[in-house]
Structure 1
Amino acid sequence: MRHLPKHPNIVSFKEAYEDKDAVYLVMELCEGGELFDRIVTKGHYTERAAAMVTKTILEIVKVCHDHGVIHRDLKPENFLFADAGENSQLKAIDFGLSIFFEPDHRFSEIVGSPYYMAPEVLRRNYGAEVDVWSAGVILFILLCGVPPFWAETEEGIAHAIVGGKIDFARDPWPRVSEQAKELVKGMLDQNPYNRLTVEEVLEHPWIQNARDVPNVNLGENVGAKIKQFSLMNKFKKRVLRVVADNLPDEQIDGIKQMFYMMDTDNTGDLTFEELKNGLHHIGQPLPDPDVRMLMDAADIDGNGTLSIEEFVAMSIHLIKIGNDEHLSQAFRFFDKNHNGYIEFDELKDAMVHDNLGPNNEQIIKDIISDADLDQDGRISYEEFKAMMKSGMDWKMASRQYSRAMLNALSMKLIKDKSIQLKT
């Protein structure tokens, strides 16, 4: 960091101290919280706010690159606001993965966080262009509230990244300006040599006229909640079913009546067409891809239809039923020995019928790892509550990841040729 000039949008290094146990870095105090937390709280920004934030991020990247530094870990968590004000200065932090580079110098080390990782990082042949890709992912999230390439596993994320399909069909993208979408596509070009450079992004009309782009809130709707539900891990879905089982009858009667209304053939299960027509009937029409995503997310047993239990769990999420009392009751359901923690064997027993697949023990370990913030190998009630109330599972996934796993996936993808550069 001392190699970089003083900059109002880069957190300043104050002093370093050392004793026999550790080295202590004293940094500038930023009291406004993470960019990530503002994204999750807002769902998404207006276009104008997104343009202003993106311009600041790219100006930081330009300073780094002009001084021979690649950040390599740009993500919303690594940007803090100086204070709590709406117009507070944004500052880049955490240069722990940054590296010096020379023009045309290529790197092969797998670094960064999965959702923000450029495809060429997985190909183990990358340069400074990776910072533009990561900034493009942040821009995508600012505009719609979720990452462009997502999945519940590292392998799924890797395949989504190298597949490179960007979905502009779902809400709120139809309301986003063409200039903004054009910029997103340019920053997320699979080929780093065709990708927009830092200078080209900063010269783009949408960034140049950042203060004049639309200031209309892009809105919160069912589509955003659907994608959030689809990103939930199996444990969270199981908790929703436990909550549903313990809700007073009057609170779920309306949901059940809705199910019976949609179940036109009276089989006790909803097909794709029944769910689609039912949503239309209650005034929530959705395009086929959204209905399919909702169906896939809620279909716990994978039989292609929704049972009344699956429908109730899905509905609880979508209409946001739930409070601390419900969560406490659900926690006690999993904490069989009442010691105040959900442990491996308890979770494994509770999820025995949840179709976790052949790697069920690893999935249980991964679920615990994601929720276990203090890494003591079990889930406390506070950790359980934080998991259930967190805005989106991709937020947790971007913090908790295995570099060894990503290295292995990179080698696998290279071997099966699915990672080859698209021209």
Structure 2
Amino acid sequence: MHHLAGHPNVISIVDAFEDAVAVHVVMELCSGGELFDRIIQRGHYSEKKAAELARVIVGVVEQCHSLGVMHRDLKPENFLFVNHAEESPLKTIDFGLSMFFKPGEKFTDVVGSPYYVAPEVLRKNYGPECDVWSAGVIIYILLSGVPPFWDETEQGIFEQVLKGDLDFISEPWPTISEGAKDLVRRMLVRDPKQRLTAHEVLCHPWVQIEGVAPDRPLDSAVLTRLKQFSAMNKLKKMAIRVIAESLSEEEIAGLKEMFKMIDTDNSGHITLEELKIGLEKVGANLQESEIIGLMEAADIDNSGTMDYGEFIAAMLHLNKVQREDHLFAAFNYFDKDGSGYITPDELQAACEQFGLRDVHLEDIIREVDQDNDGRIDYSEFVAMMQDVDFGMKVFQ
């Protein structure tokens, strides 16, 4: 990150302190919220604004690549606004998976997040072009409110990334400019050699300042879908963490030892690579895509690593959360007044306890609330916890 110091759209390191256990890094404060949340809050949004955001995102990619750095985990959650001002700078965060590269060098470790991962990453033969693919996915979502490649399972998402067709027919694409579609199409070319470079993206007429991106408002349905996409799975992640933290010492004794064994550098956090090696050692027969999904399922703070609590949550996710007493205890954690329902106020309090800000409660509740009474009862909560397809229904 010191390598990228000074770029206006890359978060800066303020200081670092070391004690006997860890190195504590103090980062620049970004209190303005995540990229999608800001768009939703404003309530007005145009292609021109999407092009402006694309220019910032790809500008960071170009700077990284010019310095021999690839990010490898570009996603909307990794773009934060410095403050709530209208013209607040947008900052790129979380360089935990970034790597230095040399021209022509190829990498094989599968990293990144399912919706945004490039096909060549899944094929274990990639270079910096993977960042342009991820940026293209973000731009597709900025314009339509949904990811270009999705399915009901993580494995299904990966198959779509490798083979699925780009949809420019469904709403709102008929009303999106040809320039925007041309750019996205050329960023999401599966052959990295044929894909636009970051510099070529910035030279595209749709992205340029005073370029061809129209200023008319995008369909309001785009904002609605963005809200739903942003809310996906947040309650389920919190609930799994609650169950993990309520387990008895006897129940987690084995998992505690496993965490120590996998955390080879004793940092208190497990990286994706450590998780892959550790699960292999204990004989867990998981595909790489499933391990990435495991990390995603438990990584509440989007740090790209798992702390002890998140690891226990991940193991719960792996073994399915089906014990009645665990589910009931988790439900009661949210249902503070014992009414038998999780209300918006109770959900808000839980989000604050977990440090989740700018969460759209109505979308989380709507996704789980089967009888549309504006609250979540126990049977709805259990259905969410045991439904592997939960979170994808918003696109169907």
State whether TM-score is above 0.5. Answer: yes
Q: Measure how far apart 1:214 and its partner are.
A: 1.4
Distance change >3 Å, CA 178–CA 125, structure 1 → 2: same
Deviations 1:320-363 (A, max 9, x none): xxxxxxxxxxx9xxxxxxx999x99xxxxxxxxxxxxxxxxx9x
C-alpha contact 1:51 1:210 (8 A) present in aligned 2: no
Equivalence for 2:201: 201
TM-score, normalising length: structure 1:
0.56
Paired residue type of 2:184: V
Equivalence for 1:162: 162
The CA distance in 2 between the partners of 1:44 and 1:128, in whole Å, is 34
TM-score, normalising length: structure 2:
0.59
The CA distance in 2 between the partners of 1:4 and 1:118, in whole Å, is 23
Matches within 5 A, 1:213-224: 213-221=213-221
Distance change >3 Å, CA 85–CA 118, structure 1 → 2: same
The CA distance in 1 between the partners of 2:362 and 2:103, in whole Å, is 41
Distance change >3 Å, CA 59–CA 122, structure 1 → 2: same
Q: Measure how far apart 1:202 and its partner are.
A: 0.7
Counterpart of 2:361 (choices 389, 398, 406) is 389
Q: Measure how far apart 1:203 and its partner are.
A: 0.6
Equivalence for 1:188: 188
C-alpha contact 2:33 2:81 (8 A) present in aligned 1: yes
- Computed over aligned residues only, the root mean square deviation of the Cα atoms, in angstroms, reads 3.8
Paired residue type of 1:30: C
Deviations 1:241-271 (A, max 9, x none): xxxxxxxxxxxxxxxxxxxxxxxxxxxxxxx
Equivalence for 1:81: 81
Equivalence for 2:72: 72
The CA distance in 2 between the partners of 1:124 and 1:101, in whole Å, is 15
When Rg is computed on C-alpha atoms for both structures, the one with the higher figure is 1
Equivalence for 2:141: 141
The CA distance in 2 between the partners of 1:64 and 1:222, in whole Å, is 30
The CA distance in 1 between the partners of 2:300 and 2:12, in whole Å, is 32
Q: Secondary structure at the match of 1:213?
A: coil
C-alpha contact 1:65 1:128 (8 A) present in aligned 2: yes
Distance change >3 Å, CA 54–CA 95, structure 1 → 2: same
Paired residue type of 1:9: N
Matches within 5 A, 1:323-338: none
The CA distance in 2 between the partners of 1:109 and 1:389, in whole Å, is 36
The CA distance in 1 between the partners of 2:130 and 2:43, in whole Å, is 25
The CA distance in 2 between the partners of 1:208 and 1:24, in whole Å, is 39
Paired residue type of 1:46: S
The CA distance in 1 between the partners of 2:226 and 2:89, in whole Å, is 33
Matches within 5 A, 1:359-370: none
Instruction: State the identity as a percent.
Output: 51
Equivalence for 1:131: 131
Q: Measure how far apart 1:160 and its partner are.
A: 1.1
Q: Measure how far apart 1:140 and its partner are.
A: 0.7
C-alpha contact 1:106 1:127 (8 A) present in aligned 2: yes
The CA distance in 1 between the partners of 2:38 and 2:147, in whole Å, is 15
Distance change >3 Å, CA 211–CA 151, structure 1 → 2: same
The question of 1:105 aligning with 2:77 is answered: no
Kindly tell me the number of residue pairs found equivalent between the two proteins: 270
Paired residue type of 1:205: P
Q: Measure how far apart 1:13 and its partner are.
A: 1.0
Distance change >3 Å, CA 33–CA 210, structure 1 → 2: farther
Equivalence for 1:90: 90
C-alpha contact 2:179 2:213 (8 A) present in aligned 1: no
Distance change >3 Å, CA 156–CA 44, structure 1 → 2: farther
